[in-house]
Amino acid sequence: MTGPKPGQKTVLVTGYDDVHVTQHINHADTPPIVAVHPEASAIAYVLSITDKKCRLIDDHVLGLHVIATARRPEVLAELAELGMSTVALDVTDAESIKKCHDEVAKINGGKLDILVNNAALYEVDDAQPKSDRGRTHTHPALDISLPDVRATFETNVFSIMAMVQAFIDQLIAARGLIINISSLSSITPYLFGSVYCASKAAVSAYSRTLRLELAPFGVRVMVSMTGAVKSNTASQGHRILPENSLYQRVKHIFEWRLVFSQNNSTMDTATFSKRLVADSLRSERPAWLRSLFGRPDWFWYGGLARLAWYGHCLGEGVVDSVSWNKFRMPEIMKLIGEGPAQKKQK
């Protein structure tokens, strides 16, 4: 493992997944291009390709030293081989966060330039085989279990608050940047994803106020309004609609929705990641110029992000009506809603 060079900026990323690295040597005089499996954790992907040994596609990615964190040792081993510093971290465990903070301070001398809060989604039972490790929190609101909801909020929301509190000393020392990975689902009704939507809306709202509170200390807050991006998420073990669910008659739509983010204008991971890194490293401008000419406070990118942004600007009614059709509500209404025959009987 190599540490940062003197003066090199450091970035800490939570929630790395397997990166499945392969290296392609180009020419004798250029460093190898490191290709990461396209379904590796979307956001983590980018930042895995930064050190001097690796040259990604975009040169401005170079220069950052990545401190990658994950909870699985095999993932950490793979990342260490890439030249990154690696630290074990379970973002839902206070003791693990504290240990991580202290280890990171040894690596970066107590100054952290960028914290990327990327980990999300899973409620993992480590006793389960890998295929059952992660299940996206896609469930009709009527079928959720509260312990699952709490686990999702632990990972998606409370862990971010804990990470910010834990690392604020290092971020202030560097006048650093926090990047919180939110989602378009924070502003759109994402059928059968009420819990996930609520958790991401909480991330966006929290970040918006955090930005004000950290401004006096020179720490900036950026939110990624992430659209559909290729990732492991939808290929993990899937939820099953409970036998007694009121939505059994639209089970096929539930199953279609489980993989929606991977089949609808899904952006490839590299394109998304490159742009996130590029935008986060843009120069700072006054707030009113920022989204056009500098590092944006709100980063809208990924499949369907542009559509959602337009809808967001036009108003909630537009977002609701586009979502109604996008998520096949007319079909659902026909199959389980109050059809014309039932209305007549009244």
Listed ranges 1-9, 205-213, 227-235, 288-296: which one lies at the site for ligand NAP (CB under 6 A) = 227-235
Structure tokens at 93: 């465990």
Q: Which of 90, 138, 193, 198 binds ligand NAP (CB under 6 A)?
A: 90
The answer to whether residues 317 and 188 touch, using CB atoms and an 8 Å cutoff, is no
Q: Which residue out of 16, 45, 200, 206 is catalytically annotated?
A: 200
**Any catalytic annotation for residue 45?**
no
- HSE-up of 282 (CA within 13 Å, CB side)? 20
With binding defined as CB under 6 A, does residue 113 bind ligand NAP?
Answer: no
Structure tokens at 133: 């490790």
Please, what is the minimum distance in Å from the beta carbon of residue 262 to ligand NAP? 7
CA dist., res. 238 & res. 98, Å (int): 33
Listed ranges 8-16, 46-54, 55-63, 215-223: which one lies at the site for ligand NAP (CB under 6 A) = 8-16
Complex with ligand NAP: residue 254 or 272, whichever CB lies closer: 272
**Any catalytic annotation for residue 53?**
no
E-strand ranges in the chain read: 9-13, 22-24, 33-35, 64-70, 85-88, 114-117, 177-183, 220-226, 298-301
With binding defined as CB under 6 A, does residue 120 bind ligand NAP?
Answer: yes
Please, what is the minimum distance in Å from the beta carbon of residue 176 to ligand NAP? 19
The answer to whether residues 146 and 312 touch, using CB atoms and an 8 Å cutoff, is no
Q: Which residues lie closer than 8 Å to 254 by C-beta, 6 or more apart? A: 140, 192, 241, 247
Q: Which residue out of 16, 190, 196, 301 is catalytically annotated?
A: 196
With binding defined as CB under 6 A, does residue 71 bind ligand NAP?
Answer: yes
Q: Which residues are catalytic?
A: 196, 200
Residues forming the site for ligand NAP (CB under 6 A):
14-17, 41-43, 71-72, 89-92, 118-122, 124, 133-134, 155, 181, 183, 226, 228-229, 231-233, 261
